[in-house]
Amino acid sequence: MGFGAAKAAPRPTMLVGYFGPLGELAGASAAGADFVLVDARSGSVDAVKLRGAAGDLPLGAWTAVQDSAAASVLREGGIDFLVVAEDSPAASLLDDDLGYVLALPSQPEELFLRSLEPLSLEALLLHNIPSPLTVAGELELSRTGSLAHRPMLCETAPDASADDLQCLRAAGVAAVMTDVAGLARLKETVKSLPQRKPRREERAVVTLPRGQAPAADDEEEEDDLLS
């Protein structure tokens, strides 16, 4: 009988997050969420309350923010990243210690995507991803990520197939999100995806750390999605 070092299980190449209202947030951690994004577009949020419900998970909020002071209040209360849209006040992007994710319009034009380069955006948020994804749809997603030079997050049906997720991953989607009821199922499907061979300048493993991290060397950057 011999003993040897146990082989570490491969880490998933996509994150699975919770996206939904505050009321279901407490169950996200138990369901295996890698991060949480609270949808509070219809009202304000209590950042301290959100942080308490999210526990140690990276926490995002999609809510109206009028200026840099309001953004800083959210960060100080425990919010790690904020979702903004085209019509959000530009001043809401001024807090350097807060991560920002841009919710894209349904059909972003090339000039718009190229213009995002100067903004301090960690990722792009996509809606209404068709399933199954066509070749044209996958090319459009790849074009979006390539032009904007940002990883992408998207809402996904909990019963999305492994084929669907592989296509999204190949197009540059780094994280998928669903409600609490579908988290465990979606996470198992992501775990079942075959490992892909990392290409040059491609992140082999995706993680979502807490808070805003300082600049790191290339090796450390491979582990960061939203820093």
User: What are the pLDDT digits (tens) for 186-214?
Assistant: 999 999 998 876 555 555 455 555 655 44
Is residue 7 in some structural domain? no
Is residue 2 in some structural domain? no
What's the pLDDT at 118?
82
CATH number of the domain that 211 lies in?
Answer: 3.20.20.70
What's the pLDDT at 144?
86
CA atoms within 13 A on the CB side of 51: 14
Q: For the whole model, what pTM was predicted?
A: 0.78
b (16+ CB within 10 A) / e for 82-99: bbbeeebeeebbebeebb
Number of structural domains (the chain) is 1
In what helix (H) or strand (E) does residue 68 lie, and over which residues does it extend? Answer: helix 68-77
User: How many other C-beta atoms lie within 10 A of the C-beta of residue 192?
Assistant: 10
Is residue 227 in some structural domain? no
What's the pLDDT at 205?
52
Q: What is the residue type of 156?
A: T
What's the pLDDT at 212?
54
| DSSP assignment of 114-174 | HTTTTS--SEEEE----SSPPHHHHHHHHHHHHHHT--EEEE--TT--HHHHHHHHHTTEE
The answer for 149, left when phi > 0, alpha when psi is -120 to 50, beta otherwise, is: left
CB 60 within 8 A of CB 36: yes
The predicted-structure confidence for 55-109, as pLDDT tens digits, reads as follows 999 999 999 898 999 999 999 999 999 999 888 989 999 999 999 999 988 778 8
Find the range with the poorest average confidence among 17-21, 113-117, 127-131, 192-196.
127-131
Is residue 1 in some structural domain? no
Mean pLDDT, to the nearest integer, of 23-51? 89
Residue 45 has pLDDT above 90, yes or no: no
What's the pLDDT at 101?
94
Burial of 209 (0-12, 13-18, 19+ CB in 10 A): middle
Is residue 3 in some structural domain? no
Mean pLDDT, to the nearest integer, of 41-61? 89
Residue 219 has pLDDT above 50, yes or no: no
Is residue 165 in some structural domain? yes
Q: What is the separation of C-alpha 90 from the centre of its chain, rounded to a whole number of angstroms?
A: 21
Mean pLDDT, to the nearest integer, of 141-148? 85
Measure the CA–CA gap between 151 and 101, rounded to whole angstroms.
10
Is residue 166 in some structural domain? yes
Residue 140 has pLDDT above 70, yes or no: yes
What's the pLDDT at 17?
95
Could you list the residue range(s) of the whole structural domain that residue 19 is in? 15-195+204-221
- Strand pairing of 15-20 and 173-178? parallel
Residue 151 has pLDDT above 80, yes or no: yes
What's the pLDDT at 197?
65
Name the token pair of 54: 């999210």
Is residue 133 in some structural domain? yes
What's the pLDDT at 7?
46
